[in-house]
Amino acid sequence: TTTAEALGLPNLGAAQVGGVGGSATAYNTKVDVRLGWPTAAPAVYSDVSAVAIEGFGQNLFGLRFFISRGFGLTLDPKAQHLTVIQG
């Protein structure tokens, strides 16, 4: 089961994904993102574009969402922890 399947996200058609290791089967999807800050009410963003990549374990990507809003990210793949830093 992929992350997108576990979340019940729709398959909105094929996506092109490639990198150093080659290409992978992927599809476009939409997801709602809820970001909570210690000092403020959570921000909710609906229908954020993302890409689900099959065969990559935790495989839901939507990096453009964070960049376009000025958020910073740190990722610890070993601990499976993503931190969003308010820009």
Overall pTM surpassing 0.75 (yes/no)? no
Question: Residue 37 forms beta bridges with which residues?
Answer: 40
Q: Is the pLDDT of residue 20 over 80?
A: no
Predicted pLDDT of residue 60: 66
| Averaged pLDDT of the chain | 79
Q: What is the pLDDT of residue 1?
A: 58
Q: How confident is the model at residue 14 (pLDDT cuts 50, 70, 90)?
A: very high
Distance CA 42, CA 38 (A): 9
Question: Could you tell me what percent of the chain has a pLDDT over 70?
Answer: 85
Largest CA distance in the chain: 42
